[in-house]
Amino acid sequence: MMRLLSLENKEDLNRELARVGVDPKAWQIFQTKNRVLRIKVDELSTAGANILKQTALIVGADCAIHRQVISGRVRKSSAILFATPRQVEEIANRLKHQPGCANKLVPELLTTVKNALNRPAPVKIGTLIFEFGKKAYLMGILNVTPDSFYNGGRYLKPEKAIEYGLKLVADGADILDIGAESTRPGANPVPADEQLKRLLPVLKSLRKKVKVPISVDTTSARVAEVALKEGANIINDISGFTFDRKMAETCARFNCYAVLMHIKGKPKTMHKNPVYQDLMQEVIDYLNSTVARAVAAGMKREQLFIDPGIGFGKKLEHNLEILRRLDELRTLGLPVVVGPSRKSFIGMVLNLPAEERLEGTIAAAVLAALNGADIVRVHDVGPVKRALRLTDAIRTGEIAG
């Protein structure tokens, strides 16, 4: 009898190897053969593309390049390498002995594969340790604004916002994200003084009452500075430190964590026909540049999280593609945050208003977690928490307490 095995989970493969009677010392070897990676390499010289192709074939892998590379009619070509992690190691070892155009690929190739195969190292934020890969963590949304696209104005009064923040934590939020400025499509900027007027009573009270880290959603360095002085742990900047050039320096000075998000345009205009030539590459390039900006300002890479910006300067098809291809963001080696909660792309697919998008939010959150999200940002913590707990149990084979 013969059958195909579906063994993405490491422990499932090890159990099957044990049933066959394979020496446990060899299990790691088969783990590296259990997954074919698809690695895109941009802008190779003709010589470099040819060398990469031939090296891949020698070790039993393959490499797709421009059809006219072999004839020399193109000067450059991108490439897609199809190889297992073990084959990548062999390719890298062989490329080290090739001319400069090929051996220069080795460091980035090995780093890319390392990032793809390993989740980011654990981090301690406040008193809590986040062990990425063990489960998907939840960031609960608390908007103290009159005009957010969902529940705008409901928690504008401090006492109601504080009560709701406590409920989010009781429902299982691992992080509270407080925002005092709506960033919905078409929104106007809110002055720092008004943001602080809305934010501070809520932040000060919740900081005394909850143990989970508190994130503040703002693009203003002044708001960030005051919030960090009052005990905020994380700054969630939808612009990736691009709207206020003092933001990176401020976060570095306070030694805080930061979520850097991709956005195309600004909230006022971002919904007006955004165009991409290569969506995932442009998102990754943008995030890479924001990370570099943060590090140049004095932040440590391990203090940074990245967010592809669902709904921020994206059409329906862009949002769906990002969720499908989310694991490509792991190229950067940083924790991935995703915020699909009740957004318009769900409404477009299901033809539902924001108030009726809970099921769509749960589906998007589950797919995000399966495709590489480390933190999912949502309004409905309780229902999503239960769905993700089951998802994590199925994915890892472990039942969390």
Q: Is 377 a catalytic residue?
A: yes
Q: Which tokens go with 60?
A: 């039993």
Please name the fold of domain 34-117: Ribosomal Protein S8; Chain: A, domain 1 (3.30.1370)
How confident is the model at residue 150, as a pLDDT?
59
Spans of the chain below 70 pLDDT: 4, 7, 147-153, 155-156, 400-401
Domain map (residue ranges) of the chain: 34-117, 123-396
Integer Cα distance of 206 and 220 in angstroms? 21
> Are 369 and 391 spatial neighbours (Cβ–Cβ below 8 Å)?
yes
Task: Return the CATH number of the domain spanning residue range 123-396.
Answer: 3.20.20.20
Among residues 94, 343, 357, 385, which one is catalytic?
Answer: 343
Could you read off the pLDDT of 162-217 as tens digits, one per residue?
999 999 999 999 999 999 888 877 778 889 999 999 999 999 999 999 999 999 99
Instruction: Please pick, among 198, 330, 357, 377, the residue that the annotation labels catalytic.
Output: 377
Closest CA to 293 of 237, 336, 338: 237
Alpha-carbon distances of 140 from 136, 155, 327, 345, 371, rounded to whole Å: 13, 14, 22, 20, 20
Cross-sheet strand order for the sheet of 37-45: 37-45, 76-83, 62-65
With contact defined as beta carbons under 8 Å apart, do 232 and 251 qualify?
A: no
CB 37 within 8 A of CB 116: yes
Name the nearest CA neighbour of 178 among 194, 191, 195, 159: 195
Amino acid at 46: T
